[in-house]
C-alpha cells in the first residue's frame, strides 16, 4: 500500500499515509488557543445535571437522556442532548439519521462481571467487543484543552467532529460531538465538576423511564467505557483482503445504529446484506455495536456488508455543518478516501473492500454546486483506487447519481467513475432500475444497489429496527 501525503494548507489539515500513520487534524476556523480560553458565559441559560458524583452545565434547551432507563433509547447525534450511561445493544433509531450537532455522552467503566463488561451478551460471542472508531487511537489525537476538574486533557478528532476526555479512576469517560463550533462544546465539557471528595461512582439504577432533570441526581446506567477506536496500523483483528463477487443479488437494509449481534443473528434468514456507517463527520449515530469482532461474526453468519462513509456534503446543502470547501473539493475527496480506508482497516477490512461515500441529496440545478460535488467524488474515487480499495457512491437518483452519470469530465480531465453506484429511488420496486434518472447503460451489470423503500419499521424474530430497504446487485464486503 503506497504512502500518500496531501497537505491542505487552507484548512490546516495534515494527512499522512495509513501505514503506521499518526493523523494530526486542527479544528477548521478555531485555534487551539481559542479552544483553551473559551468558558461558559451567561449568554445562554444553563441547567446543571448531576451524575455519578459529578455535575455538568448544559444549555437549558438540551434534552437529557438516562440510558439505563430505556435500553432502546437512540443516541442521536443530530439532536442536541446529554446522554448518561452506556447505550443499549438494541437502540431504536430512525434509519435516516445523518448529520452532527453538539452532544455529550458520559459513562463509567463496566463493572467486572456485568453483562456490559462480558463478551457473551445476548448469548452471542463478542456482543460487547471493542468499539470501532475513526481508525486511530485517541492518544494520537491533538490535545485542545484541559479539564479544570482532575486535570485530564481533552482531545479532538476533527475527522469525525468528536472530542474525548477521561476523568479520575476508575474513570468517567466523556465523548462529545459538534457541528461547526467545537469551542462551545469544549466549554461545556470544561464545566464538569466533582460534587464531593469521595471517589466518583455510578448511582443506583433508576426505575422510571424519564430523562434526568436539571439539579436532580441522575441515576446511573450499567456503567461502560467510552468507545475507543482501533488504529489502522494495529487493527483489532488482522486486516483481511476482500474478494469482490461480481455476480451477487439479494435483499438488504440499512439503518443508522449498527444492530446488535443478536439482531443480526435473528435477521439472517430474512436479509443477506446490511449497510454500516464506518466513519465521517456527518454520521448521525455512534459506532455502538460496530467493531472488528462484529464484522468477523456477522460475515461468518453469511452477511454481506456495505461499508459507508459520511463526510463533507455539497457546498449548497445548508443542512450540514461540514460542507465541501470550493476550490479544495478534489483534495478533500482524496483526504476523505484516506480516512475512510483507515476506518475500514480498523475494522479488519483490507484491500479490495468496497467503501461507499454518502453524498446526500443537494440542488443539482446549481451548476457550481454540482461541479464541486463531482470534483470531490472524482478525488474520492482516484484515492480509493490508489489505496487498493473499491470505490462506491451513495446518493439520490435525482441528484448525485444522475449528475455522476451525465458527467464525463471534471477539472479538465476524465471523471473517475466509481465502481458501484448505490442510489436512493423510493419507487417501492425491488429492482435496480433508476429510470428516468439513470440510463440503463450507466453502471450496468452487477454494479448497482438500489434503496427502493424509505424508512419503515420491521420486526424479525422479536428484534425490531427502523430500516431502508435495498436490493443489492453490486460489490459488498463478505
Predicted local confidence at residue 219, as pLDDT:
29
SS3 7: strand
Predicted local confidence at residue 344, as pLDDT:
97
Predicted local confidence at residue 75, as pLDDT:
95
Query: What global pTM score does this model have?
Result: 0.82
Which pLDDT band, with edges at 50, 70 and 90, does 43 fall under? Answer: low
pLDDT above 50 (res 3): no
Give which of 391, 396, 410, 411 is closest to 454, Cα–Cα: 396
Per-residue pLDDT, averaged over 135-152, amounts to 79
Sign of the C-alpha dihedral computed for residues 310, 311, 317 and 320 taken in this order: positive
Predicted local confidence at residue 139, as pLDDT:
76
pLDDT above 80 (res 232): no
Q: How far apart are CA 154 and CA 133, in angstroms?
A: 17
Q: Encode burial over 94-113: b for 16+ CB neighbours within 10 A, e otherwise.
A: bbbbbbbbbbbbbbbbbeee
Per-residue pLDDT, averaged over 136-158, amounts to 83
Q: Per mean pLDDT, which range of 3-12, 350-359, 386-395, 420-429 is the poorest? A: 3-12
Predicted local confidence at residue 140, as pLDDT:
79
pLDDT above 80 (res 222): no
Q: Per mean pLDDT, which range of 26-30, 429-433, 462-466 is the poorest? A: 26-30
User: Domains (ranges, CATH) in the chain?
Assistant: 27-218 (no CATH), 250-473 (3.20.20.80)
Per-residue pLDDT, averaged over 342-350, amounts to 96
Q: How far apart are CA 206 and CA 378, in angstroms?
A: 51
In percent, the amount of the chain with pLDDT more than 70 equals: 74
Which class for 278: exposed (0-12), middle (13-18), buried (19 or more C-beta within 10 A)? buried
Which pLDDT band, with edges at 50, 70 and 90, does 169 fall under? Answer: low
Predicted local confidence at residue 21, as pLDDT:
29
Predicted local confidence at residue 170, as pLDDT:
57
Residue predicted with more confidence, 6 or 459: 459
pLDDT in tens, 67-123: 988 889 999 999 999 999 999 999 999 998 889 999 999 998 876 545 443 333 333
pLDDT above 60 (res 288): yes
Which pLDDT band, with edges at 50, 70 and 90, does 5 fall under? Answer: very low
pLDDT above 60 (res 135): no
Residue 393 grid coordinates: 457512491
Which pLDDT band, with edges at 50, 70 and 90, does 158 fall under? Answer: confident
Which pLDDT band, with edges at 50, 70 and 90, does 247 fall under? Answer: low
Contact (CB, 8 A) for 188 and 55 = no
Predicted local confidence at residue 242, as pLDDT:
77
Residue predicted with more confidence, 140 or 467: 467
Residue 354 CA: distances (Å) to CA of 1, 132, 224, 285, 432? 16, 18, 32, 21, 18
Predicted local confidence at residue 167, as pLDDT:
86
Q: Per mean pLDDT, which range of 116-130, 151-165, 274-288 is the poorest? A: 116-130
Contact (CB, 8 A) for 154 and 144 = yes
Q: What is the mean pLDDT of the chain?
A: 80
Predicted local confidence at residue 460, as pLDDT:
97
Amino acid at each position: 500500500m503506497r504512502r500518500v501525503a496531501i497537505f491542505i494548507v487552507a484548512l490546516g489539515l495534515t494527512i499522512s499515509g495509513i501505514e503506521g500513520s499518526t493523523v494530526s487534524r486542527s479544528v477548521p476556523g478555531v485555534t487551539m488557543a481559542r479552544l483553551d480560553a473559551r468558558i461558559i458565559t451567561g449568554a445562554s441559560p444553563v441547567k446543571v445535571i448531576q451524575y455519578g458524583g459529578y455535575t455538568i452545565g448544559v444549555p437549558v434547551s438540551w434534552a437529557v437522556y438516562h440510558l439505563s432507563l430505556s435500553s432502546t433509547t437512540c443516541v442521536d447525534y443530530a439532536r442536541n442532548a446529554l446522554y448518561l450511561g452506556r447505550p443499549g445493544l438494541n437502540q431504536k433509531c430512525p434509519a435516516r439519521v445523518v448529520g452532527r450537532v453538539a452532544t455529550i455522552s458520559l459513562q463509567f467503566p463496566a463493572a467486572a462481571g456485568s453483562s456490559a463488561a462480558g463478551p457473551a451478551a445476548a448469548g452471542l460471542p463478542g456482543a460487547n467487543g471493542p468499539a470501532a472508531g475513526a481508525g486511530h487511537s485517541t492518544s494520537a489525537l491533538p490535545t485542545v484543552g484541559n479539564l479544570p476538574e482532575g486535570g485530564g486533557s481533552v482531545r479532538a478528532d476533527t475527522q469525525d467532529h468528536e472530542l474525548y476526555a477521561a476523568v479520575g479512576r476508575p474513570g468517567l469517560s466523556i465523548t462529545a460531538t459538534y457541528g461547526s463550533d467545537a469551542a462551545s462544546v469544549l466549554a461545556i465539557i470544561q464545566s464538569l465538576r466533582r460534587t464531593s471528595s469521595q471517589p466518583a461512582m455510578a448511582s443506583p439504577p433508576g426505575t422510571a423511564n424519564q430523562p434526568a432533570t436539571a439539579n436532580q441526581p441522575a441515576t446511573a446506567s450499567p456503567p461502560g467505557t467510552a468507545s475507543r477506536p482501533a488504529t489502522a496500523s494495529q487493527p483489532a483483528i488482522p486486516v483481511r483482503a476482500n474478494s469482490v463477487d461480481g455476480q451477487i443479488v439479494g435483499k438488504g437494509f440499512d439503518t443508522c445504529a449498527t444492530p446488535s449481534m443478536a439482531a443480526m443473528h435473528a435477521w439472517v434468514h430474512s436479509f443477506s446484506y446490511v449497510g454500516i456507517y464506518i466513519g465521517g463527520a456527518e454520521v448521525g449515530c455512534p459506532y455502538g455495536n460496530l467493531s472488528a469482532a462484529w464484522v468477523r461474526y456477522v460475515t461468518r453468519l453469511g452477511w454481506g456488508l456495505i461499508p459507508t462513509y459520511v463526510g463533507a456534503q455539497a457546498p449548497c446543502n445548508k443542512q450540514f455543518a461540514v460542507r465541501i470547501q470550493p476550490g479544495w473539493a478534489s483534495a478533500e475527496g482524496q483526504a476523505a478516501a484516506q480516512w475512510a480506508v483507515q476506518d475500514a482497516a480498523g475494522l479488519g477490512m483490507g484491500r479490495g473492500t468496497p467503501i461507499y461515500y454518502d453524498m446526500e441529496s443537494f440542488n443539482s440545478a446549481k451548476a457550481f454546486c454540482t461541479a464541486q460535488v463531482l470534483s470531490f467524488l472524482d478525488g474520492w474515487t482516484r484515492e480509493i483506487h490508489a489505496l487498493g480499495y473499491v470505490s462506491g457512491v451513495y446518493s439520490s437518483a435525482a441528484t448525485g447519481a444522475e449528475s455522476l452519470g451525465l458527467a464525463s469530465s471534471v477539472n479538465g480531465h476524465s471523471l473517475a467513475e466509481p465502481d458501484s453506484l448505490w442510489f436512493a429511488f423510493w419507487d417501492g420496486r425491488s429492482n435496480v432500475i433508476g429510470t428516468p434518472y439513470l440510463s440503463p447503460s450507466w453502471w450496468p451489470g452487477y454494479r448497482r444497489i438500489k434503496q427502493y423503500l424509505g424508512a419503515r419499521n420491521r420486526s424479525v424474530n422479536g428484534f425490531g429496527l427502523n430500516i431502508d430497504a435495498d436490493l443489492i446487485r453490486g460489490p459488498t464486503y463478505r
